[in-house]
């Protein structure tokens, strides 16, 4: 997940394709995996870099709202679980930056684009975590929504991306369960805990629905990505599936989904629900969400203040390589000893 | 709250009434060092200088929280008043905490963070190695053996970074030397014995700290030399008091943050 509004070119008709493009499309249609050294259309490469890069950025920015509660986690076990989870997210970032590198873009280039605002990350991480139940809600709803999108992406056409997704999905399903376990403790706990749980659901419900991106009728970039199997399902399909699975989970917790229009629709065998406020979504994407400024400041500060550290390690590595070279040269020329 | 686990290894020290006050205090020292250093290390989460370091720091913090659970869990058993590891971590005030001043100092930059880890790990590794081999308390040996595996890795990583940054650029060298000079006066506490330490030595539970000190100094000096850093005078001033519950101003803020939920909502289950 975590890729919204990924720009791609319009869908190319088969008759407009070159022979190479047709052969490529046939491989994708046959379910073959595209590997880094294979020929690929430039648009495929660029769209994948944007999508994988946005996903990677979301993983590392996503450390911040959860990291916000590590030092305040209410028990040693919860602290350990949260640390393990946030560490996993950073690991996902690592796999994904590596997958993007196979397409010819370095991690440093992608980070530069994140820091300068040229690349985005998921809108969801621009919302604050205000009480402990938010850590439950992030696992339950945010990771839950991510899984909806990532499970089908295990079958995506690009080999390194697909393999990264397979690893990530295993960990995400554990994350979602730990989130729901926090929600259960809170929802079945004291009145104050239940109040926190409801408050978290109230604030995270619509932002979670936004994670799937705009409605299909407004999603202009989908057709080509779907033909290339970079995108497997439409935004609305995934959003519907998410609502259908999440509503009974909220009912079990005894919590109320903050949507008066929510109702079971027998004909479509799914829930009817209200659309999120798309004006809010576009504002958050533009940088006007509640935490956009803090999130970017934190990432840029970490990067800038880490420069001396990275430079120090690089300088040492160069010195060590020179020393090894000098030692090898000396060994080759016995007369110099 | 905790009860004696039925599958626990038999250990006469755990129920020795004469030993109990000192043993409890010593176990709190072990647990509190891990908890407070784990807390400081976890503050880096999402803010590290490079993704690999972010992961390594979270991993280290996670290990230390795991050690805390084991040491404070045993402390609760020894105390025998029904307090478990969480009760000890979350419901004691600063004057009851027994960690070294070294581990509660603010995390500073990565030079302070990694230099502190190195200085502490070098001590921690020696101590756990002795405990796992020689402690007269089988429960202490068991915990030490588990923690030692992780701390061996912590020490390798911290030593490696100290060498690389010490012998990196002029700026990384300066920052590492500044960190060393800042932290050095806080290392003496690790080796300054009091009556609790002496009772543990007499019971054969823990080693003589003077013996650890000479080994620590030798191994630390080797790494600092490789890092082209200048080790301060070993006989210099030492800040003391953490082990007896007299802390810096920093610990109160750590606990205010860490204990907030447990204090604000007493008796809730999380």
Q: Give the tens place of pLDDT for each residue, B55-78.
A: 999 999 999 999 999 999 999 999
* A82 phi, psi to nearest 5 deg: -65, -40
Alpha helices in A5-131 (DSSP H): 19-29, 42-61, 63-67, 76-101, 107-115
Which one of A72, A76, A312 has the shortest CB-CB distance to B172?
Answer: A312
**CA-wise closest residue to B212 among B222, B223, B201, B202:** B201
**CA-wise closest residue to B32 among B44, B24, B21, B43:** B24
Across the interface, do A312 and B168 touch by the CB < 8 Å criterion? Answer: yes
Q: Please state, rounded to an integer, the average pLDDT across all residues of chain A.
A: 94
- The residues near A72 (Cβ < 8 Å, ≥ 6 apart) are A132, B257, B258, B260, B261
pLDDT at position A330, please? 87
Alpha helices in A62-75 (DSSP H): 63-67
**This prediction's pTM:** 0.95
Q: Which percentage of chain B shows pLDDT scores above 70? A: 98
- Name the token pair of A296: 């970017």
Across the interface, do A90 and B168 touch by the CB < 8 Å criterion? Answer: no
**Residue A94: its chain B contacts at CB < 8 A?**
51-52, 55
Q: How far is A23 from chain B (nearest CA, A)?
A: 38
Does the pLDDT of residue A107 top 80, yes or no? yes
Which of the four pLDDT bands, split at 50, 70 and 90, describes residue B8? confident
**CA-wise closest residue to A169 among A144, A199, A188:** A144
**CA-wise closest residue to B101 among B242, B249, B209, B245:** B242
| CB of A323 less than 8 A from some CB of B | no
Q: Are A4 and A221 in contact (CB under 8 A)?
A: no
Which one of A79, A313, A314 has the shortest CB-CB distance to B65?
Answer: A79
Q: How do residues B203-251 score in pLDDT, each as one tens digit? A: 999 999 999 999 999 999 999 999 999 999 877 899 999 999 999 999 9
Scan for tokens 């919590």, then name that residue.
Answer: A255
pLDDT at position B1, please? 46
Residues in chain A: 337
Across the interface, do B260 and A72 touch by the CB < 8 Å criterion? Answer: yes
Across the range A47-59, mean pLDDT stands at 96
Does the pLDDT of residue A304 top 60, yes or no? yes
Across the range B81-109, mean pLDDT stands at 98
| CB of A32 less than 8 A from some CB of B | no
pLDDT at position B2, please? 47
What residue ranges define each of the domains in chain B, with the CATH number in brackets?
A: 15-264 (1.20.1260.10)
pLDDT at position A337, please? 46
Across the interface, do B65 and A319 touch by the CB < 8 Å criterion? Answer: no
Which one of B62, B262, B269 has the shortest CB-CB distance to A83?
Answer: B62
Residue A234 CA to residue A308 CA, distance in Å, equals 44
Across the range B137-146, mean pLDDT stands at 98
pLDDT at position A220, please? 67
Across the range A171-176, mean pLDDT stands at 92
pLDDT at position B235, please? 76
Which of the four pLDDT bands, split at 50, 70 and 90, describes residue A333? confident
Residue A208 CA to residue A281 CA, distance in Å, equals 11
Q: Are A190 and B268 in contact (CB under 8 A)?
A: yes
List A34's β-bridge partners, or say none.
A158
Residue A12 CA to residue B183 CA, distance in Å, equals 64
- The residues near A66 (Cβ < 8 Å, ≥ 6 apart) are A82, A85, A86, A89, A129, A135, A138
Which of the four pLDDT bands, split at 50, 70 and 90, describes residue A260? very high
Q: How do residues A206-248 score in pLDDT, each as one tens digit? A: 999 999 999 988 776 678 999 999 999 999 999 999 999 999 9
* B235 phi, psi to nearest 5 deg: -85, 5
pLDDT at position A4, please? 74
pLDDT at position A334, please? 63
Residue B84 CA to residue B152 CA, distance in Å, equals 27
Residue A179 CA to residue A173 CA, distance in Å, equals 10
**CA-wise closest residue to B26 among B39, B36, B14:** B14
Q: Are B128 and B212 in contact (CB under 8 A)?
A: no
Which one of B58, B175, B267 has the shortest CB-CB distance to A83?
Answer: B58
pLDDT at position B6, please? 59
Q: Count Cα neighbours of A12 within 13 Å in the Cβ-side half-sphere.
A: 16
């Amino acid at each position: 997940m975590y890729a919204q509004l990924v720009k791609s070119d319009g869908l190319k008709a088969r008759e407009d394709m070159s022979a190479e493009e047709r052969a490529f499309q046939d491989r994708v249609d046959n379910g073959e995996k595209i590997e880094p050294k294979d020929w690929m259309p430039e648009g495929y490469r660029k769209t994948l870099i944007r999508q994988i890069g946005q996903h990677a950025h979301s993983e590392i920015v996503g450390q911040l709202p959860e990291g916000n509660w590590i030092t305040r986690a209410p028990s040693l076990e919860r602290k350990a679980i949260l640390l393990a989870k946030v560490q996993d997210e950073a690991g996902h970032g690592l796999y994904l930056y590596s997958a993007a590198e196979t397409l010819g873009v370095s991690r440093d280039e992608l980070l530069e684009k994140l820091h300068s605002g040229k690349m985005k990350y998921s809108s969801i991480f621009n919302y604050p975590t205000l009480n402990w139940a938010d850590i439950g809600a992030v696992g339950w709803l945010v990771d839950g929504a991510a899984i909806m999108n990532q499970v089908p992406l295990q079958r995506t056409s690009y080999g390194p991306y697909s393999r990264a997704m397979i690893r990530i999905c295993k960990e995400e399903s554990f994350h979602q369960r730990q989130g729901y376990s926090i929600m259960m403790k809170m929802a079945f706990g004291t009145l104050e805990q239940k109040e926190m749980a409801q408050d978290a659901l109230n604030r995270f419900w619509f932002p979670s629905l936004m994670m799937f991106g705009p409605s299909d009728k407004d999603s202009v970039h989908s057709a080509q990505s779907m033909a290339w199997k970079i995108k497997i399902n439409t935004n609305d399909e995934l959003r519907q599936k998410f609502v259908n699975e999440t509503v009974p989970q909220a009912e079990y917790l005894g919590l109320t989904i903050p949507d008066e229009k929510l109702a079971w629709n027998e004909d479509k065998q799914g829930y009817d629900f209200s659309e999120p406020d798309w004006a809010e979504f576009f504002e958050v994407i533009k940088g006007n969400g509640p935490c956009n400024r803090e999130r970017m400041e934190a990432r840029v500060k970490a990067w800038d203040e880490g420069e001396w550290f990275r430079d120090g390690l690089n300088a040492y590595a160069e010195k060590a390589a020179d020393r090894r070279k000098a030692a090898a040269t000396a060994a080759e020329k016995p007369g110099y000893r | 709250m905790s009860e004696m686990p039925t599958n626990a290894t038999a250990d006469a020290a755990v129920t020795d009434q004469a030993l109990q006050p000192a043993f409890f205090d010593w176990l709190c020292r072990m647990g509190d060092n891990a908890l407070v250093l784990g807390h400081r290390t976890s503050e880096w989460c999402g803010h590290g200088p490079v993704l690999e370091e972010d992961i390594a720091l979270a991993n280290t913090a996670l290990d230390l929280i795991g050690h805390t659970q084991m040491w404070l869990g045993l402390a609760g058993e020894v105390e025998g008043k029904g307090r478990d590891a969480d009760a000890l971590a979350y419901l004691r005030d600063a004057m009851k905490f027994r960690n070294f001043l070294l581990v509660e100092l603010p995390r500073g930059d990565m030079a302070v963070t990694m230099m502190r880890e190195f200085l502490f790990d070098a001590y921690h590794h020696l101590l756990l190695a002795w405990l796992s081999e020689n402690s007269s308390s089988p429960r202490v040996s068991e915990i030490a053996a588990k923690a030692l595996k992780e701390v061996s890795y912590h020490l390798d990583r911290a030593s490696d970074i100290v060498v690389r940054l010490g012998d990196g650029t002029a700026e990384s060298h300066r920052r590492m030397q500044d960190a060393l000079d800042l932290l050095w006066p806080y290392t003496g506490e690790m080796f300054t014995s009091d009556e609790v330490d002496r009772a543990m030595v007499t019971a054969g539970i823990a080693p003589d700290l003077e013996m650890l000190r000479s080994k620590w100094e030798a191994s630390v000096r080797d790494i600092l030399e490789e890092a082209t850093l200048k080790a301060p005078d070993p006989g210099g001033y030492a800040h003391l008091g953490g082990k007896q519950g007299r802390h810096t101003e920093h610990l109160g803020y750590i606990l205010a943050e860490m204990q907030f939920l447990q204090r604000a909502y007493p008796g809730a289950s999380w």
